[in-house]
Amino acid sequence: MTTTFRRSSPSALGIDAAGVDRLVIALEGAPGVEPHSIMVLRHGEVAAEGWWAPFAADRVHLLYSLSKSFTAAAVGIAVRAGLVDLDATVISHFPELDAEVTDERTRRMRVRHLLAMASGHRTETIERARQLDPTNTVRGFLLLPVDEEPGTVFAYNQPCTYTLGEIVRRVSGTSLLEYLRPRLFEPLGIDDFAWCRDDSGAELGYSGGYTTTDAVAALGQLYLQGGVWNGERLLDQDWVAAATSTRVENPDEANPDWSVGYGFQFWMARHGFRGDGAYGQFCIVLPEQDVVVATTGQSLDMQAVLDAVWEHLLPAIDRPGSTADDERLRARLAGLALPPVVGGPLGDLPDGSASVAGSPSARLGAGLEALHLSHDTDRGWVLTLRDPWGEVVAPVGDGSWAIDGATATSGARDGDELSIDVRFVETPHLLHVRWDLASGTASAAWETEPLHDAASTLHRPAD
């Protein structure tokens, strides 16, 4: 866990705590929004922070596409070191593909175009790239002819970021993680960052990053400070200016905070700029207010999260607060929690165990092959989930969350009907398991579908 930031209070930093309190209430009450953490910085100090149990400050959280902003930082550091030229063509970094890549517009694609999601493609290319080459994403991407001149059209496009990661790996001779560790993570005090890798062993770059909420806040604070940290310049000032201003217009995006331009792996917003990831992972930077907001969650309505920040936090900045409101907010933040499953006690499990296996005629859902329940005097109820990649074994809390490794599990019973929720607490995701003990049938369903994992792989990857 990072320990860089000094802890203060909203009123000491010129924020009305009542506004932050209303923000928290709004996040908890908004349909389609489930917050897991929030951290508000002003002037580089923590004004407010909280985690909804069973999520916790020292636990990493899957960032999804917020990972892109960390990959971009690696490019920015490499630019400062003279290893990468933004105006170099992409193909120049992959000479082994020179003879194969014949499309003239693809050959004119530059590094800066990848950073701005302006490769010239009109739509996402990840699946088409994988179809062209299942083992080499960069090759598949570069063999796809582009639709428009690079730099002229925006399309959110995962292979752009993956290719940036591969460029950094090539010019540095090491992995993204190893490149960033002494140059970004250690200076910022980030001591836990992991990345999902593909079959080649390369970090995804565009997704799959795992880190803590305050690490997200630290990245935002670095950009807010123009690339300087504790007197040391980590990113060039002109890089920060380019990364955090519109490089390509994107007016066709549906939501208002997604249609005001895109920088270098940062979205512009109606207020400031941000990195974000699926299901509500946000790094929001408000330069005019000298504020950074970091959040994690499981939210289907990401626009609603931003709307709540604009409605409740922005008006609270530079508005007089009180120590009494500070204390009320502190108490609320200390008691944040997601409710366990509601119902009667679990009681005894008939015959000591129960199992259900999937079949073509009786599918369990959520990609599972089998479910198993057992009960013993030492551990209580235990749920086992099996999918094609492995097993998850999780004790079940009776009216509470039982935290074990990367899961927090809660169950309740109504006669022979069991309801068990499994939270994968290093990710946004929640699995609902429903079991009819009388009929011996069970089913599982995701609250939010994992984008590149199964139940047994929803945890911080090994370094």
**Could you tell me the residue ranges of all domains in the chain?**
6-84+162-334, 350-457
pLDDT at 356: 87
Report how far residue 270's alpha carbon sits from residue 257's, in angstroms, rounded to the nearest whole number. Answer: 6
Report how far residue 397's alpha carbon sits from residue 458's, in angstroms, rounded to the nearest whole number. Answer: 20
Q: Which residues pair with 397 in a beta bridge?
A: 410
Single-letter code of the amino acid located at 306: L
pLDDT at 364: 87
Report how far residue 415's alpha carbon sits from residue 179's, in angstroms, rounded to the nearest whole number. Answer: 56
Two tokens at 304?
A: 């609603």
pLDDT at 391: 96
Three-state DSSP class for residue 283 = strand
pLDDT at 247: 97
Two tokens at 133?
A: 């080459």
DSSP H helical ranges for 51-184: 67-80, 104-107, 111-115, 126-132, 137-142, 158-172, 176-180
* Bridge-based pairing state of the strands 6-7 and 45-51: parallel
Exposed, middle or buried, 350 (CB in 10 Å: 0-12/13-18/19+)? Answer: exposed
> What number is the average pLDDT over the span 286-306?
98
Q: Is 14 left (phi over 0), alpha (psi -120 to 50) or beta?
A: left
Q: What pLDDT, in 10s, does the model give residues 195-241? A: 999 999 999 999 999 999 999 999 999 999 999 999 999 999 999 99
Give yes or no for a contact between 165 and 205, defined as CB atoms under 8 angstroms apart: yes
Cα distances (Å, whole numbers) of residue 34 to 124, 301, 400, 406, 416: 27, 9, 18, 19, 29
pLDDT at 357: 85
Q: Cα 434–439–444 angle (5° rounding)? A: 20
> What number is the average pLDDT over the span 322-340?
97
> What number is the average pLDDT over the span 75-86?
98
**No. of H helices and E strands in the chain?**
13, 22
> What number is the average pLDDT over the span 138-147?
97
User: Does 409 score more than 80 pLDDT?
Assistant: yes
Q: Which helix (H) or strand (E) holds 305?
A: helix 302-308
pTM of the model: 0.96
Q: What is the chain's mean pLDDT, rounded?
A: 95
Query: Domain 6-84+162-334, what fold?
Result: Beta-lactamase (3.40.710)
> What number is the average pLDDT over the span 393-400?
94
pLDDT at 359: 60
Q: Look-up: residue for tokens 């866990």?
A: 1
User: Does 76 score more than 90 pLDDT?
Assistant: yes
Report how far residue 314's alpha carbon sits from residue 133's, in angstroms, rounded to the nearest whole number. Answer: 47
pLDDT at 1: 45
Place 377 in a pLDDT band, splitting at 50, 70 and 90: confident
Hey, what's the torsion of the CAs at 417, 378, 421, 368, to 10 degrees?
-90
Place 354 in a pLDDT band, splitting at 50, 70 and 90: confident
**Could you give the percent of the chain with pLDDT greater than 90?**
91
Three-state DSSP class for residue 295 = strand
Three-state DSSP class for residue 420 = strand
